[in-house]
Structure 1
Amino acid sequence: MKTMNIFKEGSFSEKAMKKLLVHDSPYFRIINFNFKAGQELPIHSHELEGELSIQVLEGKGEYLAADKTLPAETGDILVCDIAEPHGIRATTDMRVLVTIAPPL
């Protein structure tokens, strides 16, 4: 068992989004991404079987897909196949938690 406070350990950068590996195991991976307003994780996909979730812990932005964008704000969570194109863009400073199962 372990604990981590990502609000204390995760930081922001004006240059690029910041990434903090929260957990990594053969079963799932958890990553905290912190974005300043205007930063994004571009649309991408992985040629693997599995699923991921992107949960907004703080802030506002947009979930990105191949053919649309969806609003993303505190408390929202997106769940999709890893192979489905996905990304996220921050319109305010934003903290998100990404869970990938099985890990890449």
Structure 2
Amino acid sequence: MKVFKLDETRIFEKDLNKFLVHDSPYFRIINFNIKAGKVFPVHSHPVEGELSIVVLEGEGFFLGDEGSKTPAKPGDIFICSIDEPHGMEAKTDMRILVTIAPPL
């Protein structure tokens, strides 16, 4: 069993801070911290699989294809195919937890 303390990665030194939480052949978990007003650009990956984005802290928007924006607040979960365009925009300092399966 592995325990990772997310409160220790509450760091906003750059526009986007990235912390690898877990990496295995089955899935990868990454904690991203996005400063208020910054954007994690919309992107996709040309592979099969799924990802989830859980908002841990802060408010902003899930970003998608063709400029779509869906409000995001703590406790919200966005789930999509890895090849579907996805990104985030932070209104306030925002922390998200991304799970990718299988890992890229």
Q: What's the TM-score bracket when you normalise by the shorter of the two chains?
A: over 0.9
Query: RMSD of the TM alignment (CA)?
Result: 0.9
Q: Secondary structure at the match of 1:83?
A: coil
Q: Secondary structure at the match of 1:21?
A: strand
* Structure 2, unaligned runs of 5 or more: none
Percent sequence identity is 60
* 2:65 aligned counterpart, secondary structure: coil
TM-score (norm 2): 0.95
| In structure 2, C-alpha distance between the alignment counterparts of 1:98 and 1:79, rounded to whole Å | 10
In the alignment, which residue of structure 1 is the partner of 2:100?
100
Post-superposition shift, 1:24? 0.2
Q: Give the Cα–Cα distance (whole angstroms) in 1 for the partners of residues 103 and 10 of structure 2.
A: 21
User: Which amino acid in the other structure matches residue 101 of structure 1?
Assistant: A
Question: Residue in 1 aligned with 2:29?
Answer: 30
Cα deviations across residues 29-66 of structure 1 (Å, max 9, x unaligned)? 00000011012210000000000000000110000001
Unaligned runs of 5+ in 1: none
Post-superposition, which runs of at least 4 consecutive aligned residues in structure 1 deviate over 3 A? Answer: none
Match of 1:17 in 2: 16
SS of 1:4 mapped into structure 2? coil
Whether the 8 Å CA contact 1:10–1:20 is kept in 2: the answer is no
